[in-house]
Amino acid sequence: MENVRRVPEAAPARPAAVRRAAVVAALMLAAFTFNTTENLPVGLLTLMADDLRVSLAAVGALVTGYGLTVAVVSLPLAHVTRSVPRRHLLAGLLGLLAVGSWVSALGGVSYGVLLAARVATALAQAAFWAVMGPVAVGLFPPERRGRIIGLLSVGGSLATVAGVPAGTWLGGHTGWRTPFALLGVLALVSLVMIGVLLPSSRPEDGHSAYGATPDRRGFSVVLAVTVLSVTGAFAGFTYVVVFLQQVSGFSEEAVSAVLLAFGGAALAGVTVAGPLLDRFPRATLTVPVAAQAVALLGLRAAGHVPAAAVVLVMLLGAAVATTFMATQSRVLSVAPGRTETALAANSAAYNVGIAAGALLGGALLPAVGVRGTFLVGGLLTVGALAVLAWAGAEGRAGIGRYRAGVGL
């Protein structure tokens, strides 16, 4: 990526306010649909395994493989599609999401066909996350970048709170294929809205195509924080159901309620922090990382107390969702080249963190127990906090050296 920001000769005219708001709403719906599609098999695990006559692990692989696909292809796809007009690219990606969802919903489809449909959908999601932010942000003045990223994050977080639970309920009453068919319809609605309302422009046009304040070191710091914090979160959270049952003493029904509270807290976190991203870019990243460390270490120390466990799980939900939103917003500022490439790198780092966290927690589980996985996750998150502290200290030292050099 380049360190020098290339400024377009003339920024394209912005569409009317209502039209811009409708495009953001369509992108929020698309984010909701993609996130629900990715995680829905978790809620339909038993139904899908019984119908397809495969093991629970095989259905779980539909989620794991999805995330790994996004991690591997995000950067290459961002590079390959960097010159494609965004309206055409988004329409194609949403069309692929719709087709993949409907193929999944077909009666009699085999596990192999379902796996292929999931991989195709994961390819679409990898490219979507890279271009969604710059497209939405480019419709508004530069000083509203963080606020728009916050709105998009609300759409994605709603998948955890409403999408997966609703899809699980619908699948339990009508069969697991019905929710996938409905998700295809939602993808089609997003496609039509974006195809009609999103202006045609070249990807390199507009202020959102490049970082506002390009900084290669700052970008590296964001990637390091993403990997460390996400690995830490999922080293413990992957086994949160076991933790809540064995350590906190919750029943299966109560665990579902606690996980719903986790999703609600995530939605609340991004809703509250989103409007603050532009005014307090450092604090809106540092505070949720610190809150995540407190939540993970607190669960290790006090997770055996049911009330404390609920509060700490909710704190973890708010922290994880807000941290990723803040890193995405920060990337739009410090990207050393094209923002979609930088966002793809951060998305890949996020998915690598999920996979690494799950693997690390699983490897440590026999030796340290489920409480130990939260301790390890907390320590990794403290590492992310240390990276942020180091970056802040280096930045202040650099300013001091500059002032000394010019005699201030």
Domains and CATH numbers, the chain: 17-205 (1.20.1250.20), 216-405 (1.20.1250.20)
CA atoms within 13 A on the CB side of 42: 19
Cα separation, 198 vs 20, in Å, equals 8
Summarize pLDDT for 85-128 with one digit per residue, the tens: 889 999 999 999 999 999 999 978 889 999 999 999 999 999 99
Q: Whose CA is closest to 146, among 5, 326, 381?
A: 326
Contact 30, 132 (CB under 8 A): yes
366-385 b/e (C-beta count within 10 Å ≥ 16 → b): eeebbbbbbbbbbbbbbbbb
Cα separation, 62 vs 284, in Å, equals 33
Tell me what the mean pLDDT of segment 323-347 comes to.
91
Residue labelled with tokens 């064995």: 246
Tell me what the mean pLDDT of segment 347-353 comes to.
89
Summarize pLDDT for 75-96 with one digit per residue, the tens: 899 889 888 888 999 999 999 9
293-306 b/e (C-beta count within 10 Å ≥ 16 → b): bbbbbbbbeebeee
Tell me what the mean pLDDT of segment 364-390 comes to.
95
Task: Tell me the pLDDT of the chain averaged across its residues.
Answer: 87
Q: Whose CA is closest to 327, among 391, 394, 396, 260?
A: 391
Contact 73, 67 (CB under 8 A): no
Summarize pLDDT for 307-327 with one digit per residue, the tens: 999 999 999 999 999 999 999
Task: Write down the pLDDT at residue 2.
Answer: 43
